[in-house]
Structure 1
Amino acid sequence: MKNYIEEHSNAMLNLIEELVNIDSGTYDKDGVDKVGNVLIEEYMKLDFHIDRYSEKMYGDNLVIRHKDAVEPEILIIAHLDTVFSKGTAIKRPFRQENNYAYGPGIIDMKSSHVCTLFALKALIACNSKGYKNIELILNTDEEIGSVCSRRLIEKVARTKKFALIMEPTFSGAVVTARKGGGKYHLKIKGKSAHAGIEPDQGISAIEELGHKILKLHRLTNYSKGISVNVGLVSGGTSINTIAPYAEASIDVRVETMEQATFIEDEIKRICSKSDVPGTHLELSGTITRPPMIPNSASKSLFSLVQQVAKELGFDLSAEKRGGKSDGNLTAAMGIATVDGLGPVGGKAHTEDEYLYIPSLMERTLLLAKIIDRLSRE
């Protein structure tokens, strides 16, 4: 397997370049589907069958398994979407400098798709039956919380023993625990009035929002792992008009489901009544991902992954991340889950996003060996 992967290192980088140079922001359906179509073609060459789940707003979700697969036990999840807007790939196309490669979405997570594909190719080339023991989900809305693909993920995952999540690693460690959380949106209606002529006739939605921001931020408790952040705000019509409307987007992170329930109740309570008389509030949103808390099955799976890494000549540790992923969903279902199995890189979601190229081959071999081991044992 190692020889096969090393011999195909250039082909791997070439495919990464092709994928990186396609814009695939979550809301760019055409671009996301184009990335999906490239991968569909690759998997079809290997006799994998593709089920396509059409979406109107987002790219089509894909479920992939070999034509000879019978009740596969391993689920692999990798997302097709990125955070970058249309036109970014033209401005910042794939480029390589020594051991590093750069480009929008290269580490989160287009390199992971190539890692996954070539791990399966290596299994096939080396006559391991592991490629028949996997089912893949390539989803298209992970960057906004898997709002549409969550149901599909949970449906496919019900029959699986193991979930391997191909999010990248930034430290070299795999991920065995993550915070959970959700997103909320608050809309406020007030009443406009001229700020100079009749300010007393207006009702400021922005003033109301100010009260709510202070109360929402007071829910943050870093010592307990709880954070509530009003990250986006807008409102008003002009500087000399009492603001007739305002809105805010709220991000929530928690470590336990008990915290999630508490925080959701508190947000609803805070937004249930006005501080500024005459304003009207409308709250939407919910907890979208439960916390990823390792159970005994996930701990055993990590031990196996760690053992495989040691046999390959390197030490592998586990870490907890504040960011959420689709691993939160499978872990909450009680499925043995290990996340962060993708290549090593950094600066995700920024102009400097990069892949550490030597890790591409190392993580591809690691994934192939994990699949092989799980399929034999």
Structure 2
Amino acid sequence: MLANQIKDYLQLHLSDMMELLKELVNCNTSSDFKPGIDAVGEKLAREFEKIGYSTETLYNDNCGNSVIARSEGNGSRVLLICHLDSVFARGTDCIESFKIEGDRAYGNGVVDMKACLVNCLYALKALHDLDVPDLPGITVFMSGDEEKGSLSVLDRIREEGRDADWCLVTEGSRPGMAVVTQRKGNAYIHVHAHGRAVHAGNEPQAGRNAIEELALKIARLRGLNNYDTGTTFTVTTISGGQNRIIVPEDASFYADMRFYTMDEWKRLKSSLEQILSKPDIEGIQLSYELTLNRPPLTLVNGTDKLHKTVKESSRELGIPWLTSQPGGVSDGNFVSAEGTPTIDGMGPTGGMMCSPEEFLEISTMVPCGSRLALTIMKLGKL
């Protein structure tokens, strides 16, 4: 049974996988540190070339380079989404070195997503070394600035998504090796109020309090939250004022919004525009910038067939079929928006992502890598 052959192959190479993971974790790949991202990209490009993949580097002066690895196949096309950069919670000068304690491996980016990169590489190594026939065409897209929105390669991601029949995002799976079947879209807004500064003791009534204006607006905007449908509006930063005895002339806040459908985004956008169309305090000047960051990763035509394939692969490997619909986003959101069936969370499991306590569950490397390889093989036969 091929599932067992793949699993045995990865188990045999687990020590090699962990050694490569150690090398990647101990390399600073913060989104702000281009040399480290580029070094990891070059390393992985060489590894993919060893198994016959052609590689292309997308150079960028302002962020890490991105890498595409490609293998020809039987005509159908599978896109694998990864990223090379990481979040370093305490800054680029504070890298947590790789270490293992029991079943857990620790270090910056260990699961988001360096273990996922290793698993992706070795899943494809298994298919190559086991000489599995009739594979689909495979494209591995490794963004160099995903943690900052993949802005440097966004158009290329969309292009590759349109050209693919299926997309597998190799971000980490959720507890129990659950795959991600949907992700929320997200947007953000920056709101600024400009009023009039006066002495707070002598004549506050002559002032126009920018902080109070935003407080009134925030109270109304909180009503956009609908936890039953997963829609959230969260104020994340706020600033204003210059002195404790002066009515604040300027104030601003940023807010994050999450939603599961584009229809919900349209409703949110309309409500925001209505609430912010005029100030509550006469004489205040109100302005805002609204940005749609990522559309939702949602169910499109063909998704059922993709889910069925991953479910079959899970069953053959003895992995429970568990699913998750988290609020975080990935580059898979962009591909889904192009109408390509997409499933996320195809990497190994861990936790505490983007924190100094980030960890990988080592025991999920082989089963999750096997599921990824088996799913790719099955997609080539659809």
8 Å CA contact 1:19, 1:110 repeated in 2:
yes
The answer to whether structure 1 residue 124 and structure 2 residue 109 are counterparts is no
Partner of residue 82, structure 1: 86
Partner of residue 290, structure 1: 295
8 Å CA contact 1:16, 1:114 repeated in 2:
yes
Structure 1 counterpart SS, 2:112 = helix
The answer to whether structure 1 residue 109 and structure 2 residue 113 are counterparts is yes
The answer to whether structure 1 residue 25 and structure 2 residue 40 are counterparts is no
Partner of residue 150, structure 1: 154
The answer to whether structure 1 residue 63 and structure 2 residue 73 are counterparts is no
Partner of residue 268, structure 2: 263
Post-superposition Cα deviations, 1:273-311, rounded to whole Å, max 9, x if no partner, equal: 222333333322333322322235111111111111211
Q: How many angstroms apart in 2 are the aligned matches of 1:368 and 1:10?
A: 18
Post-superposition Cα deviations, 1:312-360, rounded to whole Å, max 9, x if no partner, equal: 2332222322222222222232212111101011111222211000101
Partner of residue 7, structure 2: 2
Task: Label 1:196 to 1:288 Cα distance change in 2 as closer, same or farther (>3 A).
Answer: same
Partner of residue 166, structure 1: 170
- Identity across aligned pairs (percent)? 34
- The one-letter amino acid paired with 1:156 is E
Equivalent of residue 94 in structure 1, options 67, 83, 98: 98
8 Å CA contact 2:167, 2:343 repeated in 1:
yes
Q: How many angstroms apart in 1 are the aligned matches of 2:353 and 2:371?
A: 22
- The one-letter amino acid paired with 1:310 is R
Post-superposition Cα deviations, 1:86-142, rounded to whole Å, max 9, x if no partner, equal: 745745211110111011221111110000011111111111256762101111333
Partner of residue 313, structure 1: 318
How many pairs are equivalent?
376
The answer to whether structure 1 residue 372 and structure 2 residue 377 are counterparts is yes
Structure 2 counterpart SS, 1:321 = coil
Moved more, 217-226 or 283-292: 283-292
Partner of residue 333, structure 1: 338
| Cα shift at 1:372 | 1.7
Q: How many angstroms apart in 2 are the aligned matches of 1:268 and 1:201?
A: 28
Structure 1 counterpart SS, 2:265 = helix
Equivalent of residue 59 in structure 2, options 29, 54, 59: 54
8 Å CA contact 2:295, 2:333 repeated in 1:
yes
Structure 1 counterpart SS, 2:283 = coil
Q: How many angstroms apart in 1 are the aligned matches of 2:290 and 2:28?
A: 28
Moved more, 1-10 or 31-40: 31-40
| Cα shift at 1:373 | 1.9
Partner of residue 240, structure 2: 235
- The one-letter amino acid paired with 1:273 is K
Partner of residue 185, structure 2: 180
Q: How many angstroms apart in 1 are the aligned matches of 2:289 and 2:46?
A: 39
- The one-letter amino acid paired with 2:350 is G
Q: How many angstroms apart in 2 are the aligned matches of 1:186 and 1:34?
A: 39
- The one-letter amino acid paired with 2:111 is I
8 Å CA contact 1:264, 1:287 repeated in 2:
no
| Cα shift at 1:48 | 2.5
Q: How many angstroms apart in 1 are the aligned matches of 2:260 and 2:216?
A: 26
Q: How many angstroms apart in 2 are the aligned matches of 1:276 and 1:27?
A: 41
Moved more, 364-373 or 200-209: 200-209
TM-score (norm 2): 0.89
Q: How many angstroms apart in 1 are the aligned matches of 2:59 and 2:320?
A: 41
Partner of residue 140, structure 1: 144
8 Å CA contact 2:352, 2:358 repeated in 1:
yes
TM-score (norm 1): 0.91
- The one-letter amino acid paired with 1:219 is L
Moved more, 103-112 or 236-245: 236-245
Q: How many angstroms apart in 2 are the aligned matches of 1:285 and 1:30?
A: 33
Post-superposition Cα deviations, 1:142-170, rounded to whole Å, max 9, x if no partner, equal: 33444443322111111111000111112
Task: Label 1:132 to 1:224 Cα distance change in 2 as closer, same or farther (>3 A).
Answer: closer
- Within 5 Å, which residues of 2 pair with 1:35-50? 35-50=40-55
8 Å CA contact 2:111, 2:359 repeated in 1:
yes
8 Å CA contact 1:89, 1:104 repeated in 2:
no
The answer to whether structure 1 residue 219 and structure 2 residue 217 are counterparts is no
Task: Label 1:77 to 1:243 Cα distance change in 2 as closer, same or farther (>3 A).
Answer: same
- The one-letter amino acid paired with 2:303 is S
| Cα shift at 1:224 | 2.8
8 Å CA contact 1:65, 1:132 repeated in 2:
no
8 Å CA contact 1:84, 1:105 repeated in 2:
yes
Q: How many angstroms apart in 2 are the aligned matches of 1:173 and 1:40?
A: 29
Q: Which runs of 5+ in 1 are unaligned?
A: none
- TM-align CA RMSD: 2.4
